[in-house]
Amino acid sequence: MTDSDEARGVRPAWVDWTLTIAAGVLLALMVRAFVAEVYVVPSASMLETIHEGDRLVGEKVSYRLGRPSVGDVVTFNDPDGSGSTLIKRVIAIEGQTIDLRNGTLYVDGVAQSECYVDGRPSYALTQHAANLEQDISYPYTVPKGCVWVMGDNRTNSLDSRYFGAVGVDQVTSRAAFIFWPPSDMGRL
């Protein structure tokens, strides 16, 4: 930088680079906090829809403007307080009644035809009492402000059968699409 550049108010190149990098980092953090986040699926609880190790994008805008719907695949904070993020399918929303009978899931008295469970039965699980104010007994009505979530791999999923209904305020995103590996790529 010359004296004439300095006199005209031209910034040194390193200042421009620093500002550009800082703006990029800030933008990336804002996107992650408010728009979308990448998740690595840690378990097989959503087979065959999502495989262990898949990478997916969870978009966060939908639930800032509305609430989860039945059938949405959502991410949420683990109710056990571990700080991890879980991914499951919304089976019922507030006011709906869940029942599990002979391996069949019923919502509001109607047996559910769920192509994504690949014939795996839906049995009640032993509950984690530390997370529950009271034991879950069926039929169970989903409380106000909550959703009932279950993994598609019903025989290998700790879900609402185990920890109870999840508050919609704990839902962090709607799983939008898998981007890695290419063999699993697609919308959810």
Euclidean distance between CA atoms 122 and 125, whole angstroms: 9
| Residue in 45, 122, 157, 173 annotated catalytic | 45
Angle at 58 between CA 42 and CA 28, to 5 degrees: 105
The DSSP 8-state label assigned to residue 30 in this structure reads H
Q: Hey, is 165 helix, strand or coil?
A: coil
| Residue in 60, 88, 122, 173 annotated catalytic | 88
Smallest Cα–Cα separation from 124: which of 148, 101, 156, 91?
101
DSSP character string of 50-112: S-TT-EEEEE-SHHHHS---TT-EEEEE-TTSSS-EEEEEEEEETT-EEEEETTEEEETTEE-
Q: Which residue has the tokens 């409380």?
A: 143
Active site residue 88: yes
Cβ 147 vs Cβ 166: under 8 Å: yes
Q: Hey, is 36 helix, strand or coil?
A: strand
> Among all residues, which ones are annotated catalytic?
45, 88
